[in-house]
Structure 1
Amino acid sequence: MADRVLSNAERLKVRLAGDKCRPNVLILFVDDGAAQVDWLIKHRPGIFRDLPYATIRQLRHDRGPIHAWHITAIASRDGDKLIQGDNGIPVLRIPSASRIEAPIQSMIVAAVILIDRPAIVGRTVDQIADYATMQTLAVVKPQPSALQNEYASTILSLFGHDAAPGQLTPFDWGYLQGLYSGRATRRTSAQYADMARSVESELAAESKAP
């Protein structure tokens, strides 16, 4: 499963650390995700880092089979991280201003997915790995009512629909390619436009396939 996730990331040209990799993605199969989140809150609160309390509370009360969250960090346009100033206040140094690009970027530095064991019955390893790819590489909050429609299907429906796709769909690839193909400092509107074009391109290619 790990090989499948890594292969997907490589196809998206996501930079990987290789032999110097320090694991920052956890995909855990548990008996009860909500109970596991509750245990982590009490015994391993550091796993949530500075995740907002409202988000942790939502995870704690979510009775679905999937509990996923990301740890993010703010960096400058050039990738410089926050440093502690002389007075103890975090400081982010921005070398120059730009009207074209945002001065900062938000980076995913870690991702955790808890999957209830009963939910994986009948799913393949590739399906689970592709679902994990979407959940780790993008901050997504799939809503059951929007997971299957006439426009496109998505692997995010894996644990909500019996007729879920067997792998990442053209919509999924377009979404991720649009997310990762441009600079992380793109303005939000430009990023959304890139993602929309990428999704449309993948869907168009699918419709022309024999």
Structure 2
Amino acid sequence: MKTRLLASLAAFAAVVVTPATAAAQEARDIVVEGEAPEEPATVREAVQTMAREHGRDVPSTRFFDELCVSVSGLNAAGNAYVAQRILENAAQAGLDGSADCSRANALVLVWHDPAGLVERIKDEQPWLLPEQQRNDVDRAIYRGEQVLVWHNEETYNAGGRPIGFQQNVAGGTQGVHNALSVETRVNNNGWPRRVDLEFSRAVISAVIIVDADVVPGMEIDRLADYATMRLMAPDLVPLDEPGSPSSVTSPFPVAGGPDAMTRFDRAYLEALYDLAPNAPAIRLAGAVARAYEGEE
């Protein structure tokens, strides 16, 4: 994915976001703050509400392949810092990753004109924003949203691995009566199950575009952790309902809210990436609540 577009993104990088300088740190008063814990029941209820959108017949969506992160739009130090922090967050959740890879599957773009950047992507890298995703992105642009996020998904087998292309029908002998007319994906590991599903849902690429106008003055850890959650947890919509668990996803990008991943955020990622690939999404609620209790 490091093509003309990513090269031009780096060339036009103009926003500077760096960690607070030592002098600024010394000038601050030391304030001890604590995160008020939510009851596990509240955590379970919040995740269960999201899981109900999928029911028992769809697994949670997540990355299975190694995370390959590319960050553009900050200065060189800022890009490297955000990428490294995302990778550290991913490793803590159990997902391997790298910023030194040939084909990025997780893009973080800070840009002064998100709508214009989306049009460039459509023109120069249309596979990065498929037709089925474009209506949602266009509506977000119309609403004036300052953060655009989308995930490109693919069906994997029950073990969380890609499904290969074949001509032969699964379960039959190879012959003219069992051959398909064209090569297609055949899930040879799929069969009816009483508990788990015969397939999983994989994120094969994800993009987050943040309006550069909201970035100056923001803690860089907040930007990196927000990007982590939106990239790695596709089903976790920003939690902005009263009584929702504290999360770095909300409020954002406005002032206020956590400046880093919260106990809930880390529990969510830990549970999501520890579930069996083909586990129904509805199981996530209990897993998050158990991981949350384990953070004590």
Please say whether Structure 1 and Structure 2 have the same fold, judged by a TM-score greater than 0.5: yes
**Deviations, residues 159-203 of structure 1 (Å, cap 9, x unaligned):** 24422211000111111111111111102222332124334544x
Report the Cα offset of residue 151 of structure 1. Answer: 4.8
| 5+ long unaligned stretches in structure 1 | 206-210
Report the Cα offset of residue 107 of structure 1. Answer: 0.5
Question: Which amino acid in 2 is paired with 1:176?
Answer: L
Q: Aligned runs of 1:43-122 on 2, under 5 Å?
A: 43-49=124-130, 51-78=132-159, 79-83=161-165, 85=167, 86-88=180-182, 90-95=184-189, 97=191, 98-122=193-217
Report the Cα offset of residue 154 of structure 1. Answer: 0.9
Question: Which amino acid in 1 is paired with 2:207?
Answer: V
- Of 66, 78, 94, the match for 1:13: 94
Which stretch shows the higher mean deviation, 64-73 or 182-191? 182-191
Report the Cα offset of residue 111 of structure 1. Answer: 0.9
C-alpha contact 1:74 1:82 (8 A) present in aligned 2: no
Matched, 1:174 2:267: yes
Query: 1:123 is matched with which residue?
Result: 218
Query: 2:255 is matched with which residue?
Result: 162
Which stretch shows the higher mean deviation, 132-141 or 47-56? 47-56
From the superposition, tell whether residues 51 and 17 of structure 1 become closer, same or farther in structure 2 (CA, over 3 Å).
farther
Report the Cα offset of residue 57 of structure 1. Answer: 3.3
Normalized per residue, the structure richer in helix is: 1
Instruction: Determine the C-alpha separation between the residues in 2 that align with 1:58 and 1:82.
Output: 34
Q: SS of the counterpart of 1:38? A: helix
Query: 1:208 is matched with which residue?
Result: none
Instruction: Determine the C-alpha separation between the residues in 2 that align with 1:199 and 1:139.
Output: 19
From the superposition, tell whether residues 45 and 80 of structure 1 become closer, same or farther in structure 2 (CA, over 3 Å).
closer
Q: State the identity %.
A: 23
| 5+ long unaligned stretches in structure 2 | 1-81, 168-179
Matched, 1:194 2:287: yes
Instruction: Determine the C-alpha separation between the residues in 2 that align with 1:164 and 1:91.
Output: 44
Q: SS of the counterpart of 1:106? A: strand
Instruction: Determine the C-alpha separation between the residues in 2 that align with 1:186 and 1:120.
Output: 37
Instruction: Determine the C-alpha separation between the residues in 1 that align with 2:197 and 2:258.
Output: 36
Report the Cα offset of residue 35 of structure 1. Answer: 3.0
Query: 2:121 is matched with which residue?
Result: 40
Instruction: Determine the C-alpha separation between the residues in 2 that align with 1:140 and 1:156.
Output: 12
Structure whose alpha-carbon radius of gyration is higher: 2
Instruction: Determine the C-alpha separation between the residues in 2 that align with 1:106 and 1:183.
Output: 11
TM-score scaled by length of structure 1? 0.82
Instruction: Determine the C-alpha separation between the residues in 2 that align with 1:29 and 1:161.
Output: 16
**Deviations, residues 11-46 of structure 1 (Å, cap 9, x unaligned):** 111133686663211111111212322343344322
Q: Aligned runs of 1:128-143 on 2, under 5 Å?
A: 128-140=223-235, 142-143=237-238
C-alpha contact 2:107 2:206 (8 A) present in aligned 1: yes
Report the Cα offset of residue 64 of structure 1. Answer: 1.3
